[in-house]
Amino acid sequence: MALYGPSQPLRKEGNRAEALGALRRLINCRIWPVQTGQSPNEQGTVCKIARRRLEEFMNIEHLAMRLIEGDRRALAQAITLVESGRADHRVQAIELMERVQSAGREALRLGLSGTPGVGKSTFIESFGMMLVHEGLKVAVLAVDPSSARTGGSILGDKTRMELLTREKNAFIRPSPSQTELGGVARRTREATLLCEAAGYDVVLIETVGVGQSETVVAQMSDLFLLLLAPAGGDELQGVKRGIMEMADLILVNKADGDLEAAAQRTRADYAGALHLLRKRPQDPQGFPKATTVSALQDKGLVEAWADIKQLVAWRKEHGYLAKTRMEQAQYWFAQDIRNGLLRQLETEPLKTAIAEYAKRVEQGEITASRAAAQVLAALKATTGQI
């Protein structure tokens, strides 16, 4: 693929200083059983820590190597690791991300959102099959709805994409959204980077639904596609302005049979709305645009792909693609800090203190701002100066 692809040479360099340090300590344990000032028990503890640290490094190093070589099972294991909520897994996931970054690969990242029932899964399968037949490797990160009560997930996208699932150059990974604001699993961006390192040319990120709370997908994709169904003019008002302003390409699906005329009218309505709503520096002449497709009959997919390539090529040539990715990196850096601080608040003794303050606020014993200040003071005392 001319825009992105796995043809770039791999860069093998990597910082192994930490592992070498662990190996050195382990060797010292074998040669000099007791160091000056250390009891045998203390020395044994040091040896165990060094051995465990070295084993962890070798496991992560091996996983990264297999992933970069395109091992699908390694990719699945890596995504499971970055999605884990365990603190020790998070440490390993960070190390893994650092190692796979050396692959130096980039994929085209396409975010896709749409109202329920619009045919996102059908579109992804038809569109993905077309790309595979063009010789591209396609990864699909499909984020399924999660139960607000249990956190469960339907995880049915793989069964709805039977043809694409059987393709050796396609990888489909459903992940529960875990009810997070933004509708995308917490580590979907890292999963995208892992797919890139594994040599996938196009990564499709499907979100739970459409709305202002779901548009975080735009912060992890190069282009944001909005899939809509044929609708009457009044229903145009139901699409929020915020998501319209972020969409790079609107695809009106189900443009076939009795709905084809309605799809054309809907396309014209949205094209007019886009023209009135915005004109951004990163949009060349003719973009953003609305077009019709039929995922069921494979109509309009080639034209949509041509539009995508044209827009990406223009933004890459004019520097907007690189600028967007740098801004996204800053966004996720800030998000990781926020998430880390929120996790701190969920640990003891802060968790109990927050519950007690919440009860006092509820009973009117203390103002909300004073309670929040006390919690932040407790956080600072627990973790040190921030």
Report how far residue 113's alpha carbon sits from residue 243's, in angstroms, rounded to the nearest whole number.
9
* Spatial CB neighbours of 256, under 8 Å, sequence gap ≥ 6: 263, 294, 296, 297, 299
Of 202, 203, 282, 290, which is closest to residue 253 (Cα–Cα)?
A: 290
CATH code at 43-102: 1.20.5.170
Q: What is the mean pLDDT of the chain?
A: 80
When computed from its CA atoms, the radius of gyration of the chain, rounded to whole angstroms, is: 25
- The two structure tokens encoding residue 145: 């709805």
Instruction: For residue 281, give the 3-state DSSP assignment.
Output: coil
CA distance 144 to 151: 11
Residue 154 pLDDT:
41
Residue 211 Cα to chain centre, angstroms:
18
CA angle 326–327–330, rounded 5-degree value: 90
Task: Give the CA distances from residue 342 to residues 91, 371, 378, in Å, rounded to whole numbers and listed in that order.
Answer: 17, 16, 14
Same fold? 43-102, 105-318? no
In the chain, where the domains are located = 43-102, 105-318, 330-384
- State which fold the 105-318 domain adopts: Rossmann fold (3.40.50)
- pLDDT of 110: 97
DSSP string, 132-192: HHTT--EEEEEEE-B-TTT--B---HHHH-HHHHT-TTEEEEEEE-TT-TTSS-TTHHHHH
Q: What angle (nearest 5°) sits at the alpha carbon of residue 144, between those of residues 139 and 147? A: 160
pLDDT at 312: 96
pLDDT band at 328 (very low <50, low <70, confident <90, very high): very high
- CA 295 – CA 298 distance, rounded (Å): 5
Distances 139 to 26, 115, 142, 332, 347 between C-alpha atoms, Å: 41, 22, 10, 21, 36
**Nearest one of 70, 72, 55, 114 to 253, comparing CA atoms:** 114
Distances (CA, A) of 263 to 256, 267, 268, 269, 290: 8, 6, 9, 10, 11
* pLDDT tens figures, 24-75: 554 455 444 444 455 555 556 656 665 565 565 568 999 999 999 999 999 9
Tell me the whole-structure pTM to 2 decimals: 0.78
Quick one: 299 exposed, middle or buried, by C-beta within 10 A (0-12, 13-18, 19+)?
middle
**pLDDT tens for residues 175-212?**
765 545 444 556 888 999 999 999 999 999 988 655 55
Q: Is 298 helix (H, G, I), strand (E, B) or coil?
A: coil
For residue 84, pLDDT over 80 is answered with yes
